[in-house]
Chain A
Amino acid sequence: MKDKTKETDNILVRELSQEKYRYGFTTDVHTDIIDRGLDEDTVRLISARKGEPEWLLEFRLKAFRYWMGMPMPHWAHLDIPPIDYQNISYYADPTVKKQGPKSVEEIDPQVMKTFDKLGIPLEERLALSGGVAVDAVMDSVSVKTTFKQTLAEKGIIFCSIGEAVKNHPDLVREYLGSVVNYRDNFFAALNSAVFSDGSFVYIPKGVRCPMELSTYFRINAQGTGQFERTLIVADDDSYVSYLEGCTAPMRDENQLHAAIVEIVVLDRAQVKYSTVQNWYPGDENGRGGVYNFVTKRGLLRGVDSRLSWTQVETGSAITWKYPSCVLQGDGSQGEFYSVALTNNWQQADTGTKMIHLGKNTKSTVISKGISAGHSQNSYRGLIKVGKEATGARNYSQCDSLLLGSQCGAHTFPYMDVKNETAVVEHEATTSKISEDQLFYCNQRGIPMEQAIGLIVNGYAKDVLNRLPMEFAVEAQRLLSVSLENTVG
Chain B
Amino acid sequence: MEMLKIENLHAEIAGKEILKGINLSIEAGTVHAIMGPNGSGKSTLSNVLSGHPAYTVTQGKATFKGKDLLAMPTENRSHEGLFMSFQYPVEIPGVSMTNFMRTALNEKRRYLGLDPMSPTDFLKLMKQKRDLVKLDAKFMNRSVNEGFSGGEKKRNEIFQMAVLEPSLSILDETDSGLDIDALRIVAEGVNSLKTPETSALVITHYQRLLDYIKPDVVHVLYAGRIIRTAGPELALELEERGYDWLIKEFEDSNR
Contacts and interface: CB of A to CB of B under 8 A. Distances in A.
Q: Do A and B bind each other?
A: yes
A444 B78 contact: yes
A434 to B, nearest CB: 7
B228 interface: no
A340 to B, nearest CB: 17
Nearest to A437: B90
A75 B136 CA distance: 53
B155 interface: no
Contacts of B108: 445
Contacts of B79: 445
B93 A447 contact: no
Contacts of B104: 441, 444-446
Contacts of A447: 73, 75, 107
Interface string A436-469: 1101111111111010001101111110000000
A8 B51 CA distance: 13
A454 B13 contact: no
Question: By CB atoms of chain A within 10 A, which of B53, B83, B86, B104 has the most?
Answer: B53
Interface string B103-137: 11101100100000000000000000000000000
Contacts of A5: 54
Contact of B94 (A435, A446, A461): A461
B77 to A, nearest CB: 8
A1 interface: yes
Secondary structure type dominating chain A contacts: helix
Question: By CB atoms of chain A within 10 A, which of B14, B73, B94 has the most?
Answer: B94
A444 B160 contact: yes
B103 A459 contact: no
A442 B79 CA distance: 10
B52 interface: yes
A253 interface: no
A173 B89 CA distance: 61
Interface in B66-102: 73-75, 77-79, 83-84, 86, 89-90, 92-95, 99-100
Contacts of B160: 444
A446 B93 contact: no
A462 B108 CA distance: 29
A440 B89 contact: yes
B207 interface: no
A442 B90 contact: no
A369 to B, nearest CB: 15
B50 interface: yes
A213 B186 CA distance: 52
Nearest to A8: B53
B90 A445 contact: no
B69 to A, nearest CB: 13
B40 interface: no
A434 B94 contact: no
A454 B103 contact: yes
B92 A445 contact: no
B23 interface: no
A444 B164 contact: yes
A83 B102 CA distance: 48
Interface string B206-244: 000000000000000000000000000000000000000
B145 to A, nearest CB: 9
A49 interface: no
B167 to A, nearest CB: 13
Contacts of B63: none
Contact of B54 (A1, A443, A458): A1
Given A2-B14, A444-B100, A458 B107 contact: no
Contacts of A8: 53
B143 interface: yes
Question: By CB atoms of chain B within 10 A, which of A2, A447, A457 has the most?
Answer: A447
A8 B74 CA distance: 13
A462 B93 CA distance: 11
B82 to A, nearest CB: 8
Contact of A458 (B74, B86, B93): B93
B243 to A, nearest CB: 28
A459 B93 CA distance: 6
Contacts of A252: none
A98 interface: no
9 shortest A-B CB distances, which residue pairs? A458-B94, A458-B95, A461-B94, A445-B78, A442-B74, A444-B104, A1-B14, A447-B75, A445-B107
Given A441-B92, A441-B100, A444-B78, 9 more contacts: A1-B13, A436-B90, A444-B160, A445-B75, A445-B79, A445-B107, A447-B107, A454-B92, A461-B95
Interface of B: 13-14, 50-54, 73-75, 77-79, 83-84, 86, 89-90, 92-95, 99-100, 103-105, 107-108, 111, 143, 160, 164
6 contacts: A1-B13, A442-B78, A446-B103, A450-B107, A454-B103, A458-B93
